[in-house]
Structure 1
Amino acid sequence: MATTTINAGEEIDSGCLKCKTLTNHTIIAKVEEKIIKVQCNVCGGRHNYRPAEPATTKKKSDSAKGPASKTPTSRSIKTANDNYSKILKGRSIDQAIPYTMTSLFDTNDLVNHPTFGLGIVTATISPNKIELTFNEGPKIFICQLKTLAQLSTGSGLKAKKKKRVRKSIEPEM
């Protein structure tokens, strides 16, 4: 039996992440008989050796599940539609505020979004983020940051501006 040993400096096929394909590589480092590092002859990238995968494909069993789909299920769509209908009930479309990123919104405001249509502000996540519930479900949007003056107008307090005082720095002698 003649065994061929592959040494550093020789070429071998390896999977390259930059090229995203199986390409020809030069062996850079080995530990005992195991190839550790290779350099791609196409892009010049140096990385760990990734052996060529065998040509045979494994058959998936019927019970194996794939990754979860990102599309909502019919059950979640139905509950979103029910919640939307309950919240929208008794409201006039004429009262809808057009959505812009510079507008201020409060909870339960009816909003008309140019892409998603009518929605209701169901939550204020932070001073500049709101959750709008649409027919398809809830979505998070950015709105104008509420300043201290805008927050305090409701309680009757006025915001005071601080004046900056420039300190003169005298050179030391």
Structure 2
Amino acid sequence: MDVELRPLRHEDAPAHCAGEDDATVRWLTGGHGTLAGTRAHFDRLAANAGAGRGKRGFGVWWDDRLAGYVDCDPDNRDGLRPAEPAPVNLSYCVHPWARGHRVAVAAVGLICSYVKEHAIGEVAAIRVEPANTASVRVARRCGFRHRRRYPASHPDGSPATFDLYLLDL
């Protein structure tokens, strides 16, 4: 399997938006993206990467086809206690056609390597709703350990419960 991470470009926006299905909206985004909004998001990620701070994201490419998205965010404190050091949060999605082929496992491994190589953090976090069993499997397959369950909210503001998984890098 040839999975790699690449910076997202404006011309990737149509494929990225086409890969958003109901599962992506439910578990990650809270709504379908527009081309203009997606391109603006890509610009913010690129600016953050250039500045060496904030959320940085990449396209997940499998055999030269955009198969999903992964990002790392050192500023997310969801589920942490006030005195706890913040791990680097990882978020990801895989387009429907690429699911079930361990693309997410490969992407999480690659973004963990990126976080370590660029000295962004020493611990990675995956925050996931327990009902998102595919994402729970990814966390476990990648060696993350369950830390705690905590109350949270969806992007639309409705209440949710998340599990926090951590991995020392």
Asked whether the two chains share a fold, i.e. TM above 0.5, the reply is no
Q: Kindly name which structure, 1 or 2, has the bigger radius of gyration based on alpha carbons.
A: 1
More helix by share: 2
> With structure 2 as the length reference, what TM-score do the two structures score?
0.23
Greater relative contact order (Cα < 8 A, sep 6+)? 2
